[in-house]
């Protein structure tokens, strides 16, 4: 089976934990090859879905297929073609990057020493860690550890690569380096980027979904979702700690001691609001607030 033919199909997947929390509520997604963004706040169900796709836990119901593979019934086959960088990626601080990556390569089944050396070297160069390959991982920065995690996840040329909250905690320069690395990976594989950071998705992903409280609220191509909001997002700069009570406020953030308020309205709301070009942040907040899709509840969202 060729890489470019592989799609990930998630159908009617639900999961409720023993404490009664419903982490996934009838989730269905079609994920083609390339970079796919799963966007939602902390606690939305993203990590539960990622762990389920990575065969680390079972849903209560539903089906998942990766190409011809039944993910829930053929876990060993999934693991052979899976790369997974979890949110909390632990490293062995006293081991250097080259030796640890070599060890993981053995676990992945690359037993030929020459082949392993070639793979380890190529991945360390691809993740821009070659010059630091003999440095112990305990001395790595957060961004270097994340890039090492990607090197581990890429062992064996996975057809499914799952990256869970990869840029949280990275400084701006490390974040840019990391996103540049991820952007090179989404050619032939399905790469899922799970994040609560809107910019990660807007800069990288050709397809996306927004999830909250275990439900998929929107599935779209980012640019199409932005285009669909044109003429409906209005902005006003107002004194700090004042909000328009009668408007459909989707976001409010501080700027130079004042508040920039964005509202959703299909016609000019007047009262000093100006029309603005929407961006993916507006898509996210209007969807979360229930204006962009027929969601059950309208809630004020601020950042």
For the stretch 12-37, pLDDT in tens is: 999 999 999 999 999 999 999 999 99
If we measure between CA atoms, which residue out of 146, 151, 158, 8 comes closest to residue 83? 158
- % of residues, the chain, pLDDT over 90: 59
Alpha-carbon span 141 to 147, nearest angstrom: 10
The span from the first CA to the last CA of the chain, in angstroms, equals: 45
Contact criterion met (CB below 8 Å) for 195 and 165: yes
Please state, in angstroms and rounded to a whole number, the distance separating the CA atoms of residues 125 and 123: 5
User: Which of residues 150 and 2 earns the better pLDDT score?
Assistant: 150
Give the model's pLDDT for residue 246. Answer: 66
Show Cβ contacts of residue 105 under 8 Å, excluding neighbours closer than 6 positions: 116, 119, 120, 155
On the question of pLDDT at 63 being above 50, the answer is yes
Q: What is the pLDDT of residue 5?
A: 63
pLDDT at site 242: 66
Secondary-structure percent of the chain, ordered helix, strand, coil, rounded to 5: 30, 30, 40
Cα–Cα distance measured from residue 127 to residue 198, given in angstroms and rounded to the nearest whole number? 23
Q: Are 178 and 146 in contact (CB under 8 A)?
A: yes
Q: Which of 43, 52, 56 is nearest to 15 (CA)?
A: 52
Cα(173)–Cα(191) distance, rounded to whole angstroms?
A: 22
- Average the pLDDT over 30-58 and give the result: 93
Domains recognised in the chain with CATH numbers: 3-94+156-220 (3.40.50.300), 227-288 (no CATH)
Residue 240, φ and ψ in degrees, nearest 5: -55, 140
Asked if pLDDT for residue 138 goes beyond 70, the answer is yes
The pLDDT-based confidence of 299 (bands split at 50, 70, 90) is very low
Higher per-residue pLDDT: 69 or 175: 69
Cα–Cα distance for residue pair 248/251, rounded to 1 Å: 9
Q: Does 283 or 108 have the greater pLDDT score?
A: 283
What does the pLDDT read at residue 273?
Answer: 92
Indicate the range of 55-64, 212-221, 265-274 predicted with least confidence: 265-274
For residue 103 the two structure tokens come to 């060890």
What are the structure tokens assigned to 219, written together? 């599935």
Q: Could you give the CA distance from residue 174 to residue 182 in angstroms, rounded to a whole number? A: 12
Q: Which two tokens stand for residue 117?
A: 């050396």
- Residue-wise pLDDT for 198-242, tens only, equals 988 988 899 999 999 999 999 999 999 999 999 999 999 888 766
Q: Give the pLDDT confidence score for residue 167 in this predicted structure.
A: 82
Cα separations in angstroms, 218 against 54, 65, 197, 291, 295: 23, 21, 16, 11, 10
Tell the residue number behind the tokens 């691809």, with chain if given: 126
How confident is the model at residue 254, as a pLDDT? 85
Instruction: With CA atoms as reference, report the closest residue to 211 among 48, 58, 35, 18.
Output: 48
- Which backbone phi and psi does 11 adopt, to 5 degrees? -130, 120
pLDDT reading at 298 higher than 60? no
């Amino acid at each position: 089976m060729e890489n470019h033919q592989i799609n990930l199909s998630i159908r009617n997947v639900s999961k409720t934990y023993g404490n009664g929390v419903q982490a996934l509520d009838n989730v269905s997604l079609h994920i083609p090859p390339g970079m796919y963004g799963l966007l939602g706040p902390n606690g939305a169900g993203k990590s539960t879905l990622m762990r389920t796709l990575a065969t680390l836990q079972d849903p209560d119901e539903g089906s998942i297929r990766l190409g011809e593979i039944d993910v829930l019934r053929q876990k060993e086959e999934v693991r052979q073609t899976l790369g997974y960088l979890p949110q909390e990626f632990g490293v062995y601080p006293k081991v250097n990057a080259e030796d640890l990556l070599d060890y993981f390569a053995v676990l992945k089944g690359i037993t030929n020493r020459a082949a392993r050396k070639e793979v380890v070297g190529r991945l360390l160069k691809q993740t821009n860690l070659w010059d630091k390959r003999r440095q112990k991982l305990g001395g790595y920065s957060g961004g270097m550890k994340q890039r090492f995690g990607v090197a581990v996840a890429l062992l064996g040329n996975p057809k499914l690569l799952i990256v869970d909250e990869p840029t949280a905690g990275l400084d701006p320069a490390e974040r840019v380096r990391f996103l540049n690395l991820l952007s090179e990976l989404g050619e032939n594989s399905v790469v899922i980027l799970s994040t609560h950071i809107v910019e990660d998705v807007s800069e990288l992903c050709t397809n996306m979904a927004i999830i909250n409280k275990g439900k998929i609220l929107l599935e779209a191509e980012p640019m199409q979702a932005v285009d669909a909001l044109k003429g409906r997002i209005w902005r006003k700069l107002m004194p700090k700690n004042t909000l328009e009570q009668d408007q459909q406020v989707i976001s409010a953030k501080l700027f130079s001691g004042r508040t920039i308020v964005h509202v959703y309205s299909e016609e000019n709301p007047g009262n000093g609001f100006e029309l603005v070009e929407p961006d993916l942040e507006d898509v996210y907040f209007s969807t979360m607030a229930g204006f962009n899709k027929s969601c059950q509840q309208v809630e004020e969202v601020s950042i």
